[in-house]
Amino acid sequence: MTKNELPLSKDEILDAAEQVLRRYGSDKTSVVDIAKVLQVSHGTLYRHFESKAALREAVTSRWLHKSIAIPLEAIASETGGRAEERLRLWVETLIQTKRKFAAEDTEMFAMYANVTVIEVEMINTHVYRLIEQLAQILERGMANKEFKQCDSRAFARAIFLATSRFHHPSHAQEWGMGSMDEDFESVWQLLLGGLME
């Protein structure tokens, strides 16, 4: 059996697509380019993904899950220490991760930034997952009496939105500005004041 006769898994296709997208960028990558790497016809890929856009969405969704959601979940799931410290670590990790990808994984970050505008449902799913992680930290803080009682999901959403300037890709051009750290500290103190007993 030759390579092009073997059945492909979605992960194999996504691995190849990610590799090609990083090399050529989203605009210049075609389904044919990805098929060549896999040594199959482009029709084979269309049996798994209906279009280039669907393939790009799947690559971005997997990248967000592996690179952002899973590492943040590890922070949210920790049970030791103070909830206030964990909350700050979670938000700062999100911010630093996005900045790192913007600087070091430019093609994937550019595709992600583009997808945030086009694939609203997929991004909403990702954001919901992150807000649930924040809510988990807030609930632990309320249980420990570090934070006052509140609607954890509503406050988690407020934290996510209030800090969006520091992690949303549409603000990436601002991240190098000298005042960003001071601006974040001001926002953080305001949020923390709303949480404390």
The pLDDT tens digits of the residues spanning 71-92 come to 999 999 998 899 999 999 999 9
Domain with CATH 1.10.357.10 in the chain: 53-195
Q: Token match 């296709």: residue? A: 13
Give the pLDDT of the chain (197 residues) as one tens digit per residue. Answer: 335 555 788 899 999 999 998 888 888 888 999 999 999 988 888 888 888 888 888 998 999 999 999 999 999 999 889 999 999 999 999 999 999 999 998 888 988 888 888 888 889 999 999 999 999 999 999 999 999 999 999 999 999 999 999 999 999 999 988 889 999 999 999 999 999 86
pTM over 0.85: yes
As its CATH architecture, domain 1-49 has Orthogonal Bundle (1.10)
The yes or no reply on domain 53-195 and CATH 1.10.357.10 is yes
Domain with CATH 1.10.10 in the chain: 1-49
Q: List for the chain the helix, strand, coil content (%; round to 5).
A: 75, 0, 20
Q: Token match 């967000």: residue? A: 64
